[in-house]
Amino acid sequence: MTSPKATDDKWWQEAVIYQIYPRSFFDSNGDGEGDLPGIMQKLQYVADLGVDAIWLSPFFTSPNKDGGYDVANPRDVDPRFGNLADAKLMINKAHDLGLKVLVDIVPNHFSAEHEWFKAALVAAPGSKERARFHFHEGKDDRTPPNNWISLFGGPAWTQVADGQYYLHLFDSSQPDLNWENPEVDEDFKETISFWVKMGVDGFRIDVAHGLVKENIRSDHHDPQGLSDALRIDVDMEIEKRESLLASVPFFDRAGVHEIYRSWRKHFDSFDKPIMAVAEAWVHPPVNGVAYVRPDELHQIFNFDLLIAPFEAKTLYRLINSTLEMFKDIDAYPTWAISNHDSPRVSSRLGAEEARALALFLFGLPGSSYIYNGQELGLPDAELADSDRQDPSFIRTNGETKGRDGARVPMPWSGQETPFGFTSGKPWLPLPATWLDLTVESQINDEQGSLFLYRSALAQRAKLFRGARDFTWDTSRIEEGILGFSRGGIQVYLNSGNKSVALPASELILASSGSHRILNSEFELKQGRAIWFMQ
């Protein structure tokens, strides 16, 4: 964090970026699924939240076996979301509203429906068509080349008619690309250029740490342990997890950095700044800073807070170690507490705690990501197994419930489900209990989550952006109180089990719940956070 105040050239450094899951945002044509014209209609809402940018999860041509992260043509729009003209209009409208636009790019794999994979299937073993993927002979006729387990469960290899196997770290419909083949890199650069020409300002790189595989013909000593260690929903002793993660042969290999160095040259070849954020779970976390070296990417997601408890000591440890890691480098950290892959923060920590944590994080140096619906305080929705579509649910025979609960569409308005999301039948049902959580019912509610997000974000840039000072107050951490001051603002969070008194303030700027002001003190209740000036 050595650079001065963010200029427009580096707009992302302290930006608030709003993640839109297109299928669940707003349906413009009544088919039950969100789409690009629907996003366009709701962009004013997004701009009014006070965010700087949007990131859209994939809307490219896809059989949609993994929520669009199975891309069959990365340079076209899936008909369920509209067409390229809609994409262009949506991007222009976002720009008119002052929002930058990031799109997802998925370089680890294609969909099995991509032309390349279809061609590979009909081509012979050893052909150039197969060399774009990881096709190998098995150990014998029925045993895959190694014992790796897919991140969605089951073997990471699938056999084709002539007996060869192909590698898929995710679903069998998502064959991994072979990044040792220069054709792959050329194709992705073409995709990057394509979307830059369409007007986007950057990319979120899916599974950015996964492109290079090592020891692809060797067994892992504990494939099930490794598979569990990689799943955030499996509890494991921290030492055991760390030692397993240190041995993962397909993530965070040195070779990925060469790819991003070459991508960076490509990003820098355009006539406006193009940024990229890596989705890369790496261990130990300090390895993450390698992805944001000056000649690589611009941001890397920090996932610690997606699994952290609401507990001052742990939050301090995780946030502080991230701030330390970024201290001497020319990049800023990112903060995220929800996304389309993890349980919603309100369900994980509680509604009040979720708001408090968001408010606390908005004060930190760096960039904050918000997952659509997080601002409404949406919980995960309960779903019937018959509604579930996540491949991880299907591939584990229901043992893993999967991520659909966090992907239920946005409730906009009205008294009845689907709360204005669609005039048809939503692709996942919205619970009737979301009546009080719709945008319409929260928009004027000063105690609501949406109001808090809007008022905090309206002030955030002018209060904090570019502030160089940062001082922790851990003096009351044993009671669950964590605080910091930055830019003359005090930010406190109470994760303890009782209200505490803080010195009275001249000015309370934002607070995640009501607070009582006494003579010389005010009360910060448990599960709350506050910004104030002294």
Q: Which residues are catalytic?
A: 206, 279
Q: 427-466 mask for ligand GLC (x: CB under 6 A)?
A: ----------------------------------------
439 within 8 A of 412, measured Cβ to Cβ = yes
Q: In what order do the strands lie in the sheet with 157-159?
A: 135-136, 165-167, 157-159
Residues 23 to 62 in contact with Ca ion, rule: CB under 5 A: 27, 29, 31, 33, 35
Q: Nearest distance from residue 279's CB to ligand GLC, in Å?
A: 6
Burial 479-514 (b: 16+ CB within 10 A, else e): ebbbbbbbbebbbbbbbbeeebebeebeeebbbbbe
Among 66, 304, 352, 353, binds ligand GLC (CB under 6 A): 66
Please choose which of Ca ion, ligand GLC, none residue 35 contacts, taking the beta carbon within 5 to 8 angstroms, the exact cut-off set by kind.
Answer: Ca ion
Tokens of 409: 């569409």
Q: What is the C-alpha separation between 255 and 38, in angstroms, rounded?
A: 40
Please choose which of Ca ion, ligand GLC, none residue 27 contacts, taking the beta carbon within 5 to 8 angstroms, the exact cut-off set by kind.
Answer: Ca ion
Q: Nearest distance from residue 448's CB to ligand GLC, in Å?
A: 29
Residues 288 to 347 in contact with ligand GLC, rule: CB under 6 A: 340-341
207 binds ligand GLC (CB under 6 A): yes
| 500 Cβ contact partners less than 8 Å away, ≥ 6 residues apart | 476, 479, 481, 494, 523, 524
Phi, psi for residue 315 in degrees, rounded to 5: -60, -40
Which of 1, 41, 38 shows the shortest CA–CA distance to 21? 38
- Please give the radius of gyration of the chain, using alpha carbons only, rounded to the nearest integer: 23
Please choose which of ligand GLC, Ca ion, none residue 31 contacts, taking the beta carbon within 5 to 8 angstroms, the exact cut-off set by kind.
Answer: Ca ion
Q: Nearest distance from residue 75's CB to ligand GLC, in Å?
A: 18
Strands 471-473 and 367-371: unpaired
Query: Which of 35/341 has CB closer to Ca ion?
Result: 35
Q: In what order do the strands lie in the sheet with 334-336?
A: 299-300, 275-278, 202-205, 100-105, 53-56, 16-20, 367-371, 334-336
Place of tokens 């050329």: 186
Query: Which of 282/437 has CB closer to ligand GLC?
Result: 282
69 binds ligand GLC (CB under 6 A): yes
Q: What is the C-alpha separation between 178 and 167, in angstroms, rounded?
A: 10
Size of the site for Ca ion (CB under 5 A): 5
State whether residue 89 is helix, strand or coil. helix
308 within 8 A of 353, measured Cβ to Cβ = no
Q: What is the C-alpha separation between 393 and 395, in angstroms, rounded?
A: 6
27 binds ligand GLC (CB under 6 A): no
Query: Which of 36/278 has CB closer to ligand GLC?
Result: 278
Size of the site for ligand GLC (CB under 6 A): 10
Please choose which of Ca ion, ligand GLC, none residue 176 contacts, taking the beta carbon within 5 to 8 angstroms, the exact cut-off set by kind.
Answer: none
127 within 8 A of 119, measured Cβ to Cβ = no
Q: Tell me the window of 64-72, 127-135, 139-147, 501-509 that interacts with ligand GLC (CB under 6 A).
A: 64-72
Q: Tell me the window of 2-10, 65-73, 191-199, 350-358 that interacts with ligand GLC (CB under 6 A).
A: 65-73
- Residue of this chain nearest to ligand GLC (CB atom): 69
Q: Nearest distance from residue 228's CB to ligand GLC, in Å?
A: 17
Q: Nearest distance from residue 81's CB to Ca ion, in Å?
A: 7
> Which residues in this chain contact Ca ion in the complex, by CB under 5 A?
27, 29, 31, 33, 35
> Which residues in this chain contact ligand GLC in the complex, by CB under 6 A?
66-67, 69, 106, 170, 206-207, 279, 340-341
